[in-house]
Amino acid sequence: MVHVYNLHPFGSQQVVPCKLEPEQFCGGGRDALFVAAGCKVEAFAVAGQELCQPRCAFSTLGRVLRMAYSEAGDYLVAIEEKNKATFLRAYVNWRSKRTENSRVCIRMVGHNVEGSLGEAFRDQMSIVEMPLSETPLCVSCCPVKGDLLVGCTNKLVLFSLKYQSINEEFSVLDFERSLIIHVENVTPVEISFCVGHVAVMSDLEVLILKLDSDPKNGERVNSRHSQKADNPLKQTEEEGSNEMSHLESDDFVFCQKPIELLGEKSEQSGISVKLESTGLADTKYFHVQHLLYRRFSPDISLCVLSDDIKLHSLQLLPIYQTGSLTSDGKNLSQEKELLSLFCFFSLPHVGYLYMVVKSVELMSIYQYPEKCQQAVLTPQFLHVITSNNLQCFTVRCSAAVAREEDPYMDTTLKACPPLSMDVCALRIQLFIGLKAICHFRNHIILLTKADPKAMPERTESPKRLLSKKDTSVKIKTPPVAEAGWNLYIVNTVSPVQLYKEMVDYSNTYKTAKTQSCIHLLSEAHLLVRAALMDAGQLEPGEKAELLEALRESCGHLGDCYSRLDTQHSHLALPYYKMSGLSMAEVLSRMDWTLEDEPQKYEKGLIFYINHSLYENLDEELSEELAAKVAQMFYVVEPKQLPHVLSSPSMKNIDPATALSYLRKLDTSGLSSILVTLTKAAMALRMGDVDTHRSEMKRYSEMKLVCGFILEPRLLVQQRQGQTVPTRLALHLRDAQPGLLVAAVLGLQKNSKIGIEEADSFFKVLCGKDEDTIPQLLVDFWEAQLVACLPDAVLQELCFKLTSQYIWRLSKRQPPDTTPLQTSEDLSLVCGPSFDIASIIPFLEPLSEDTAAGLSVHVLCRTRLKEYEQCIDTLLDRCPEAVIPYANHELKEENRTLWWKKLLPELCQRIKCGGEKYPLYLSSLKETLSVVAGELELRDFLRVLPEDGSAAFFLPYLLYCSRRKSLT
C-alpha cells in the first residue's frame, strides 16, 4: 500500500542555459553538471537556489552515448561513438579549462608521465584514453574510491584509480586496468559499482556480486579463475539454453520463469563468473561472492512483445559518514565510512529496493500509478518520472542503517520506524514531456520535450528480451534537435523545512487518533535521520537544527504512541527518552480534562510513566503532577500504586492523598504486606506515629522483610547518584534496628542492593562520614557473618569486622549504640577457617599494654604456632594467665613445652624474686603437677633445677614415683 500525501519536497526551479538539446547529462560532487550534445560537453556550476552558470565546454571525439562523473578524482568518463567505432575516455582536471580553445593533453591509460611533461598537466585538462578489446556499453564510477567499471558483452573491466607522483607537491590522476570479470551469456545494459559491490542488469535480469579482498584458504586470483555453481538449476538452464537454440525461430519464443535468489542461493543462477587479474601489481580482489540474482519474465498476455517491458534505473546507493564536525565547524576527517549499501532497479510499473550489506533483504516495493520512464534513488527519497509527472516517494534506507549500526535500537532506550512501514508518495508534480532525470546533492535535473517522438531510447529485437544470444546494444539515433525542450534544475527543499510541513500535516490526523498520524510523523523522523547520516555535508548550524528536529520528532512520536491504543504502545518510552523531554514536560502535554475514566489513560502512557518511575530519575514531580500520577495508577494499574508511591520522583505527593488511595485498594489480589508498608510510610510522613505502629504490627518481622524485598525503595533510594535513606528507614534506625538490619540483609541476598551501596546506606543513615563506622553497620556485617554468605564475600567481611574490632580496642572506643549480636553469636579471630597471617598487619596499632590488646596478640601468635613467644609475653605481662593458656594450648605435640619451656622459665623468674614472685610460684606448682604426671621419674629428675630445694620438689617426686609403681 502506498500512502499519498500532498506535500512540497520540490522548491525553486531554474533552467540550465545549454545551447543544444541534451543527449546525455549527469551531475555530482559539490556543484558539477555536465550536458553532452553532439560532439561537445558543457560543464555548469550549480550553486545556491537561483544560480546555474556555464563553467567550461570541451569537445569530444564523437557523440556521447554514456557518461558518468566521479567525485573521487573529480573526473568525467564518457563512451563516445565516431564513424561507427566506440571509444572510452576520461576527462581529468577539467576545471582548469578556461576556454573552449584552451590546450588539452591527450594520453594513454597507464602511460608514465615524465616530470617535465607532468608539470604541464597542472593547469590544463587531460584526456585519458582507455582502449578496450570489445565495445564498451555502460560505465559506473565507485562513489567512494573512484574506481571505474566498464560493461562489455559478457565481461566487466575494472580500472583502478591511482595517482602518478610527479614530485612532492604534484601528482597526476591515472587508471590501471586491474581486473576483468567474465560473466557468461550476459550483455549488460546498465551496471553500478560501489566499494567492491557490482550490480549488473540486462533487459530482464539483475545480478549483484561482491568482490572480496580476503583470499579464501590462501587462494589468489589467477588468470581465468572460475567461480562455478554445480547444481540442478544450472544444468536445467543450460539444457533449456540448448533447447532454445533449436526452438527459437520466427514462430517460437522461449520464456524463462521469474526467479529470485538471495545470498548464497544466488550462486544457483547458473551464471558463471570468472575473475582475471590484469593489473601489474597484486590485485586487491581474490574471489566473488554472489549476493542476489533476480530474473523477470516479459508480459506476453497481449501476444505481442513490447520493447518497453524492460528493467531500468539500476543503482547502488551507499550510505556513509564523512567524519564528525568540530565546534568550529571543521571536519575531523574527510574519509568516508560505509554504513550500508542499497540496490534499486525498476520495471515500468514497479520498483524494487534491496539492502545488500551484512544481509540481502528486499526492503520495499514501489507500485507506480503510471508507467515509469526513469528513477533515481537518494538517501531520503526515490524520484520517479513518468511522461508528465515527477513523483517523490519515501525510502527506508535510514531506518535500515539505524538498525544495522546501533545495538540499542528497538530497546527501552532507542527506537526507529520499522522497515516494513508502507512507503508513501509525498508529491506528484506536473511536468509536460519528461524524458530523463538525474540527481546530485539537493538538485534534481529534468529533461523535458513536448514532442514525445524525439525521446532517445534503446530499441532492440523483442527476442533480445528473452534470449542471451544477442551480444550488442543498439542505441537509436535521435532526430534533428527541435524546439520545445528544456533542461531544468529543481531544488529540493531543506529537510528541516519539509519536516516542519509534515508535522503540520500530521496535525489533521491527531484528533481522529488514526495510524496515519504515526505514519506521517515516522516519515518525518526518517527524513531527519537520513539528513544526519552524512554529517560531513552539513554546516554546524544545519546539524544543530536537524538534531533539534530529531528530538522534536521523537516527542511527537512519543505523544502518538502514548495516546493511541496500538500494539506498539510501548514505543512511547524510547521515543520520549530520545526526545530529551522530562517526565513533567511529558505529563504537561497530556489532556487531563476527563476524570477517573480508564479509557483516558492509554497503555503507552502508563508504560512510559511506570518505567520512568522505576528508573529512579533525578526528577521530582510537583505535588499536582504527583497526585495526577497516583490517580492514574489507582484507576488503571492499582497493583502498581505502592511501587509508584515509593519512587523518588513522587517525593512531593501529599501523604494524605496517597494514604486515601491506598486505603481504597482491594488487597485481595495485591501484596497486602507491600500495601501495609506503604501505608506505614505515608502515615509516618504525616506524623501519625500511632497509625504507623498499628500497620507495622500487622505482620511478623520476617514477613515485613519480604515486603521490603518487593519494594526496596521504601528504605533506600538513589538521588543524583547518591544513596539516600527514606524517612521510614530513619524511623526504623531508632525504633526497630533489628528489622532494619534484617531487611537490608534480605535486599542484599536477593541482589536488590550491592555491598558497597549497603555500607554507604548505613553510614548516611547514622550521619557518619566516610571514615567512621557506626555500630549499626557493624551489626549489619555481623548479621552477614551469621547468615553464612559465600566464601568470597565472607573473607572480605572478616577483614572489615577484624579491622573495626581492632580499631575499637586500640582507640578504646565503645560502640555508639547497643550491639545487636553478643559474643556468643560470633567466633572470628579464634575461628579455624580464618587466615590469621592476614590479620598481623592490622595488629600494629594495637598495644599489648591492655588486657584486650594482649589477648588478641597472644591469640594470633598462638594461631601462628609461636607458643614460646606467647609464654614469654604472658610471663612478662600477665603471669596469672600462663597456666590457663598452657592448659588450653600446650597439648599433644606441644605437650613438651611444659617442661622444656615453661618449667625452666618459671624457675628462672622465681630466683629473681620481685612483686610477681607469688604468681610465679603458684604457676610453678601447677606446672610441676602437670610435668610429674607426664614424665618418667628419671626424666622428671633431669628437668628439675640442680640448685633447687629438695623439700620443695619432694612431694612431686613421690607422686611421680607412686604413679609409676601403680602402673
DSSP letter for each residue of 743-809: HHHHHHHTTSS-HHHHHHHHHHHTT--TT---HHHHHHHHHHHHTT--HHHHHHHHHHHHHHHHHHH
Interacting residues of 416 by C-beta distance below 8 A, sequence separation 6+: 399, 402, 403, 409, 410, 525, 526, 529
**Burial, 415: exposed, middle or buried (Cβ in 10 Å; 0-12, 13-18, 19+)?**
buried
DSSP string, 97-115: --STTS-EEEEETTPPPPH
Whether pTM > 0.85 for this model: the answer is: no
pLDDT bin (cut points 50, 70, 90) of residue 278 is: confident
Is 623 in contact with 654 (CB distance < 8 Å)?
A: yes
pLDDT at 334 over 80: no
Closest-CA residue to 16 (of 633, 487, 351) = 487
Is 123 in contact with 116 (CB distance < 8 Å)?
A: no
Beta bridge partners of 167: 170
- pLDDT, tens digit, for every residue of 207-248? 999 998 776 544 433 333 334 434 444 444 444 444 444 444
Interacting residues of 181 by C-beta distance below 8 A, sequence separation 6+: 155, 156, 157, 158, 198, 209, 211, 273, 274, 275, 276, 288
Closest-CA residue to 527 (of 497, 555, 506) = 497
pLDDT bin (cut points 50, 70, 90) of residue 105 is: confident
Helices (H), 787-916: 791-811, 851-863, 867-877, 882-889, 897, 903-912
- Percent of the chain beyond pLDDT 90? 47
pLDDT bin (cut points 50, 70, 90) of residue 671 is: confident
pLDDT at 252 over 90: no
Rounded to whole angstroms, the Cα distance separating 661 from 711 reads 18
Which of the two residues, 592 and 66, has the higher pLDDT score?
Answer: 66
Q: How many CB atoms lie within 10 A of CB 383?
A: 24
Closest-CA residue to 162 (of 171, 175, 153, 181) = 175
Beta bridge partners of 205: 295
Rounded to whole angstroms, the Cα distance separating 905 from 57 reads 117
Mean pLDDT of the chain: 84
| Strand order across the 40-47 sheet | 24-28, 32-37, 40-47, 51-59
Dihedral angle computed from the Cα positions of residues 686, 691, 692 and 693, in that order, rounded to the nearest 10 degrees: 150
CA distances from 962 to 85, 936, 950, 954, 959 (A): 137, 11, 17, 12, 5
* 357-369: average pLDDT: 90
Sign of the torsion formed by the C-alpha atoms of 385, 389, 395 and 398: positive
Residue located via cell numbers 610453678: 924
Closest-CA residue to 834 (of 785, 774, 874, 783) = 785
Rounded to whole angstroms, the Cα distance separating 740 from 301 reads 84
What does the H/E/C string look like for 657-688?
A: HHHHHHHHCCCCCCCHHHHHHHHHHHHHHHCC
pLDDT at 600 over 80: no
* 107-118: average pLDDT: 72
* 942-967: average pLDDT: 79
Is 917 in contact with 884 (CB distance < 8 Å)?
A: no
pLDDT bin (cut points 50, 70, 90) of residue 15 is: very high
Which of the two residues, 590 and 670, has the higher pLDDT score?
Answer: 590
Lowest average pLDDT, out of 292-301, 500-509, 788-797, 936-945, goes to: 788-797
pLDDT at 472 over 70: no
Q: How many CB atoms lie within 10 A of CB 174?
A: 23
- pLDDT, tens digit, for every residue of 512-541? 557 788 999 999 999 999 999 876 677 788
Rounded to whole angstroms, the Cα distance separating 673 from 337 reads 57
Rounded to whole angstroms, the Cα distance separating 314 from 139 reads 12
Most confident range (mean pLDDT) of 397-406, 550-559, 765-774, 809-818 is: 550-559
- pLDDT, tens digit, for every residue of 846-871? 777 778 788 888 888 888 888 889 99
- Alpha carbons within 13 A on the beta-carbon side of 227: 26
**What is the C-alpha R_g of the chain?**
45
Rounded to whole angstroms, the Cα distance separating 390 from 677 reads 68
Lowest average pLDDT, out of 461-465, 553-557, 818-822, goes to: 461-465
Interacting residues of 946 by C-beta distance below 8 A, sequence separation 6+: none
Which of the two residues, 355 and 450, has the higher pLDDT score?
Answer: 355
- Percent of the chain beyond pLDDT 70? 84
Beta bridge partners of 128: 90, 107
Which of the two residues, 76 and 104, has the higher pLDDT score?
Answer: 76
Lowest average pLDDT, out of 3-7, 298-302, 800-804, goes to: 298-302
Q: What pLDDT score was predicted for residue 231?
A: 44
Q: What pLDDT score was predicted for residue 826?
A: 64
Q: How many residues does the chain have?
A: 967
Helices (H), 376-483: 397-405
- pLDDT, tens digit, for every residue of 174-218? 999 999 999 988 999 999 999 899 999 999 999 999 998 776 544
Which amino acid is residue 149, in one-letter code?
L
- Alpha carbons within 13 A on the beta-carbon side of 73: 29
Give pairs for 346-352: CB < 8 Å, separation 24+. 346/311, 346/312, 346/313, 346/372, 346/375, 346/384, 347/296, 347/309, 347/310, 347/311, 347/312, 347/372, 348/308, 348/309, 348/310, 348/312, 348/372, 351/313, 351/375, 351/382, 351/384, 352/294
Q: What pLDDT score was predicted for residue 536?
A: 66
Grid coordinates given for 9: 519536497
**Burial, 677: exposed, middle or buried (Cβ in 10 Å; 0-12, 13-18, 19+)?**
buried
Rounded to whole angstroms, the Cα distance separating 712 from 49 reads 62
Q: What pLDDT score was predicted for residue 152?
A: 95
CA distances from 433 to 20, 307, 447, 507 (A): 17, 20, 8, 36
- Alpha carbons within 13 A on the beta-carbon side of 457: 15
pLDDT bin (cut points 50, 70, 90) of residue 8 is: very high
* 257-274: average pLDDT: 89
Q: What pLDDT score was predicted for residue 900?
A: 83
pLDDT at 598 over 80: no
Give residue 574's Cα distance to chain centre. 14
- pLDDT, tens digit, for every residue of 149-176? 999 999 999 999 998 887 777 888 899 9
Is 606 in contact with 570 (CB distance < 8 Å)?
A: no
- pLDDT, tens digit, for every residue of 677-698? 999 999 999 999 999 999 999 9
